[in-house]
A = this chain, B = another copy of it.
Amino acid sequence: MKKQLSIVKIGGGLIENPQALRRFCELFAALKGPKVLVHGGGKSATALASKLGIKTKMVHGRRITDKESLEVTTMSYAGWANKTIVACLQSFGCNALGLSGADGNSISAVKRAVSEIDYGFVGDITAVNYSLIEKLIKAEICPVFCALTHDGKGQLLNTNADTIASALSAAMVVGYSCRLLYCFEKDGVLSDLKKNTVIPLLTEELLEEGVGNGSIHAGMIPKLENGFKALQAGVAEVIIGNENILKEKGHGTQLK
């Protein structure tokens, strides 16, 4: 039987709130068995860009990454966010080690081809370095990924953190029974925004229906698509919800 590996993704918003970050890190450190963390950092990058007078351009919820934005993103994600999380996890006895996709050539990508939209320095993942991540896990290290990849030719690329978490979990199924946990501020995928009712089990059919009749928020679609993609790749379990999904079963929305 394959050993279980938890891949947890957290939103960047958490990092800006020291109390919330400490609470999350304590919960994450207590999670048993090998684990990998993936974090965003969107808000901090936007705030830094604004302080520097750089306008953040977004299309369909995705950042348009020009040269200046890439600098800001790298400073914010790989610098402040990643190291703050790593130092905090270390304080709870979790042997965290921060990585961008360039580090140890852990995640390779190609710059997204320009079609209708030019996303700029945005990377579509081509390979996950299974061997490196396995070595780190076997050395009892917890890899902490920020939302950056590289093209192997010296270019860093911005890549969506939800996508990184999905690609990582899909790649690690070779040697592990993978659980993918998307942690965010909501209790799960909501069937009715007003009533705040969590859908306990979500199929692709239910998703299509919910998006069609407007009961599932359109902003959830990329996250859910990433989740279903992971399931199709052999990931054993995909759960979306608040921090409680780290504690025990029965919280959040499970994709099926």
A residues near B (Cβ < 8 Å) are 22, 48, 51-52, 71, 74-80, 82-84, 86-88, 90-91, 95-100, 102-105, 132, 135, 139, 141, 148, 150, 152-156
Copies in the complex: 2
A105 touches B100 (CB 8 A): no
The answer to whether A78 and B83 touch (CB under 8 A), given A51-B52, A103-B96, A104-B97, is yes
* Chain B neighbourhood of A78, CB < 8 A: 78-79, 82-83, 98
Contact A156 B91, CB 8 Å, known A78-B78, A96-B103, A97-B99: no
Give the dominant DSSP class at A's interface: helix
Q: How far is the CA of A241 from the CA of B103 in the complex (A)?
A: 28
Q: Contacts A52-B52, A91-B152, A153-B91: A102 and B80 contacting too (C-beta < 8 A)?
A: no
In the bound assembly, the distance between CA atoms of A75 and B90 in angstroms comes to 19
Q: Which 9 A-B pairs have the closest CB atoms?
A: A79-B79, A91-B154, A75-B75, A75-B79, A87-B102, A97-B104, A97-B103, A78-B79, A86-B102
The docked-state distance in angstroms from the alpha carbon of A239 to that of B169 is: 45
- Known A-B contacts A99-B97, A100-B98; A80 and B87 likewise in contact (beta carbons under 8 Å): no
Give the distance to chain B from A71, nearest Cβ to Cβ, in Å: 6
B75/A103 in contact, CB under 8 A: no
A76: chain B residues at CB < 8 Å are: 75, 79
Q: Which residue of B lies closest to A103 (CB)?
A: B97
